[in-house]
C-alpha cells in the first residue's frame, strides 16, 4: 500500500488562485484536491503551492567539492522550498561531456541528495560525438559557452559551432542551453579592473546581443531548440521578442540577482556581487521585470555558482564570478515581486511551473496526477539574511543583511517531507533521467 498523506491549508495555490483546500497524496503523487479536511495535517494560513524547480545549479562535485557539493547544495535547496535541481556540466572535474563523467556525478549524488537531482550534459569543442550516448543516459539537454567559461576544462565553442550542435540535438529532441555572451565585444572593450564599474564595462550589453542574435539565426536555420541562460542585458529583449513572434523554439531565463540588485548599489570592491553576465543598472532591472510580466522571459532560476570565500577576494579582475542563491530564490523574487504588485500565481509560474515544463517534469502544479512536490511557506514573515545561517557550503552572499519576506516552513519531495523548518529528513532525493 502506498503511504497516504493529507495536507490542509486555508491558502492553497490552485488554478492561479488561493483558496482553502485539502491535498491528498498517495505515494509520490497528488491523487485528490478537495474541500474535505478529514484527518489532514493542518497548515493554517501558510501558503501551500508547488515546490520550486531550479534548472540552473552548479553543484561542483566531484572535483571541486570544496566549492559546494551534493549534500550541502541539496540541503540548501530543500530549505529554500526546491524539490528538483538540474546540475550544470561544470565546474565539476571532469565536466559532464561523456557518459563516464555523468556516472561519476551520479555516484557522488546518489547517497547525499536531499532533493531530486537531474543533470545537463555539456558540449565543448570535439565532444559532440558523445551527445547521443549522454542523451541515452538521461541528460536533460546540453550546455555550451560562447565565451570563456571561467574554467579551462570546459572551453567555449565558436559561433560557427552553433549549427552542428543544434542540428544534432534536434535529432535527439533536446535543447541547447547557451551562456550567450559573444567574445568580440568583450575582447574589443576595456580590461577589467578591481572595481565593479570596470567589470561592468568589460562585459557590455553588446556581447549578449551579438550572441543571442547568433543563436536566433542558428535556430532559424536548423530548427533546433535553444534556451538562453541568465539573461542580463535588456538590449537583447527586442531580438528575442521578434524571434518568439516568429515562432522560433527559444526559451529565456533570468536570475534573482538581475531582478533584485543594481549596479548603482554595489560597493566598488564588493566581489561577492561578481557574476557573468554582470549586474546592470536599475533601468535595466525594470525592463527585465517587464519582460517577465509580458511572458518574454519564461522563468527565474538561481544560477547557483558558489566558491570558497577567499576566491571572492582580490578585486573584480581576479575574483570568481558567481553568486550562490539556491536557498534564497523564493524570498528574493517574492519580496521584489510583491513590491511591484505581482501575484503569488505569477511567482509560482516563474519559479515552479515554467522550469518544470522546460525540463519536461510532471511537477509544478497542484492537481491530481502531478508529483507531490510541495512547499508550505509564509509570504508575510520577514527575516534578515545571515550568510552563516544558510545551508550552502560557504557563508558568502551579496544579500547579507538584506531584509526579505517569505519564510519556508516545510518542503515535500514526492510526498515525503524533506525539510520542516528546523531540520532535514535525510537524503531522500532520487536521480532523475530525461525520458
CB distance 392 to 78 below 8 Å: no
Give, in degrees to the nearest 5, the angle at Cα 95 between 430 and 61: 50
Per residue, the 3-state secondary structure of 2-56, as one string, reads CCEEEEEEEEEEECCEEEEEEEEEECCEEEEEECCCCCCEECCCCEEEECEEEEE
Give me the phi and psi of 358, to 5 degrees please: -60, -40
**Does residue 37 sit within a domain?**
no
**Does residue 420 sit within a domain?**
no
Share of the chain above pLDDT 90, in %: 97
Computed on alpha carbons and rounded to an integer, the radius of gyration of the chain in Å comes to 21
CATH code of the domain containing 136? 3.20.20.140
**Does residue 80 sit within a domain?**
yes
**Does residue 145 sit within a domain?**
yes
Domain that holds residue 205: 52-363
Q: Crossing angle of helices 70-79/99-109, nearest 10°?
A: 60
pLDDT digits (tens, 9 = 90+) for 214-238: 999 999 999 999 999 999 999 999 9
| Mean pLDDT score, 100-128 | 98
Contacts 24+ apart (CB under 8 A), 123-130: 123/97, 123/157, 123/165, 123/176, 124/95, 124/97, 124/154, 124/155, 124/156, 124/157, 125/155, 125/157, 125/161, 127/97, 127/98, 128/164, 128/165, 128/168, 130/97, 130/98, 130/99
**Does residue 349 sit within a domain?**
yes
pLDDT digits (tens, 9 = 90+) for 369-394: 999 999 999 999 999 999 999 999 99
- What does the block give as the cell for 19? 483558496
At residue 37, the pLDDT reads 63
**Residues forming a β-bridge with 21:** 9
Distances 311 to 266, 317, 321 between C-alpha atoms, Å: 18, 11, 9
Give me the phi and psi of 255, to 5 degrees please: -130, 160
Dihedral (C-alpha) 279, 76, 373, 40: value to the nearest 10 degrees?
-130
Give, in degrees to the nearest 5, the angle at Cα 136 between 135 and 141: 15
Q: In total, how many domains does the chain have?
A: 1
**Does residue 108 sit within a domain?**
yes
Helices (H), 318-427: 329-339, 344-348, 354-359
**Does residue 30 sit within a domain?**
no
Distance CA 364, CA 372 (A): 9
Which of 60, 22, 43 lies closest to 368, judged by CA? 22
CB distance 314 to 269 below 8 Å: no
- What does the block give as the cell for 347? 511567482
Per residue, the 3-state secondary structure of 152-207, as one string, reads CCCCCCCHHHHHHHHHHHHHHCCCEEEECCCHHHHHHCCCCCCCHHHHHHHCCHHH
**Does residue 336 sit within a domain?**
yes
At residue 435, the pLDDT reads 86
pLDDT digits (tens, 9 = 90+) for 41-75: 999 999 999 999 999 999 999 999 999 999 999 99
Helices (H), 80-121: 99-109
Which of 12, 8, 7 lies closest to 345, judged by CA? 12
Residue 202 burial (CB count, 10 A) = 19
- What does the block give as the cell for 292? 517577465
Distance CA 254, CA 170 (A): 24
Say which residues have a Cβ less than 8 Å from residue 144's Cβ, sequence separation at least 6: 122, 123, 124, 156, 157, 161, 165, 176, 177, 178, 179
Answer whether residue 2 shows pLDDT above 80: no
pTM of the prediction? Answer: 0.97
pLDDT digits (tens, 9 = 90+) for 12-46: 999 999 999 999 999 999 999 987 767 899 999 99
Dihedral sign computed on CA atoms, order 67, 71, 76, 80: positive
Give, in degrees to the nearest 5, the angle at Cα 158 between 157 and 163: 95
Cα–chain-centroid distance for residue 94? 22
At residue 55, the pLDDT reads 98
At residue 1, the pLDDT reads 60
**Lowest-pLDDT choice from 135-149, 323-337, 420-434:** 420-434
pLDDT digits (tens, 9 = 90+) for 293-302: 999 999 999 9
Amino acid at each position: 500500500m502506498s503511504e497516504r498523506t493529507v495536507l490542509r491549508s486555508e491558502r492553497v495555490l490552485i488554478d492561479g488562485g488561493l483558496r482553502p483546500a485539502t491535498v491528498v497524496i498517495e505515494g509520490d503523487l497528488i491523487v485528490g484536491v478537495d474541500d474535505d479536511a478529514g484527518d489532514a495535517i493542518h497548515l493554517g494560513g501558510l501558503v501551500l503551492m508547488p515546490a520550486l524547480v531550479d534548472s540552473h545549479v552548479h553543484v561542483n562535485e566531484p572535483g571541486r567539492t570544496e566549492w559546494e557539493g551534493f549534500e550541502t547544495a541539496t540541503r540548501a535547496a530543500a530549505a529554500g522550498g526546491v524539490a528538483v535541481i538540474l546540475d550544470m556540466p561544470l565546474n565539476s572535474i571532469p565536466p559532464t561531456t561523456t557518459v563516464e563523467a555523468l556516472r561519476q556525478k551520479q555516484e557522488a549524488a546518489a547517497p547525499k541528495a536531499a532533493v531530486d537531482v537531474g543533470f545537463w550534459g555539456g558540449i565543448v569543442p570535439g565532444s559532440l560525438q558523445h551527445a547521443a550516448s549522454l542523451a541515452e543516459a538521461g541528460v536533460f539537454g546540453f550546455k555550451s559557452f560562447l565565451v570563456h567559461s571561467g574554467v579551462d576544462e570546459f572551453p567555449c565553442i565558436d559561433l560557427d559551432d552553433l549549427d552542428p550542435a543544434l542540428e544534432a540535438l534536434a535529432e535527439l529532441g533536446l535543447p541547447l542551453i547557451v551562456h550567450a555572451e559573444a567574445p568580440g565585444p568583450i575582447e574589443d572593450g576595456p580590461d577589467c579592473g578591481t572595481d565593479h564599474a570596470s567589470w561592468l564595462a568589460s562585459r557590455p550589453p553588446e556581447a549578449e546581443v551579438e550572441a543571442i542574435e547568433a543563436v536566433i539565426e542558428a535556430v532559424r536555420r536548423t530548427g533546433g531548440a535553444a534556451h538562453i541562460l541568465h539573461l542580463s542585458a535588456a538590449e537583447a529583449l527586442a531580438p528575442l521578442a521578434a524571434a518568439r513572434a516568429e515562432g522560433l523554439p527559444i526559451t529565456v531565463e533570468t536570475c534573482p540577482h538581475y531582478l533584485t540588485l543594481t549596479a548603482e548599489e554595489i560597493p566598488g570592491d564588493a566581489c561577492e556581487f561578481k557574476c557573468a553576465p554582470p549586474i546592470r543598472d536599475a533601468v535595466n532591472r525594470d525592463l527585465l521585470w517587464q519582460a517577465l510580466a509580458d511572458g518574454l522571459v519564461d522563468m527565474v532560476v538561481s544560477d547557483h555558482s558558489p566558491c570558497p570565500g577567499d576566491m571572492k577576494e582580490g578585486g573584480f579582475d581576479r575574483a570568481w564570478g558567481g553568486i550562490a542563491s539556491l536557498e534564497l530564490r523564493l524570498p528574493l523574487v517574492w519580496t521584489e515581486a510583491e513590491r511591484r504588485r505581482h501575484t503569488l500565481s505569477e511567482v509560482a509560474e516563474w519559479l515552479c511551473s515554467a522550469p518544470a515544463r522546460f525540463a519536461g517534469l510532471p511537477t509544478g502544479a497542484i492537481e491530481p496526477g502531478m508529483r507531490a512536490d510541495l512547499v508550505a511557506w509564509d509570504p508575510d514573515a520577514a527575516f534578515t539574511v545571515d550568510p552563516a545561517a544558510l545551508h550552502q557550503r560557504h557563508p558568502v552572499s551579496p544579500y547579507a543583511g538584506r531584509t526579505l519576506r517569505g519564510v519556508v516552513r516545510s518542503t515535500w519531495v514526492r510526498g515525503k517531507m524533506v525539510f520542516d523548518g528546523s531540520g532535514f529528513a535525510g537524503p531522500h532525493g532520487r536521480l532523475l533521467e530525461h525520458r
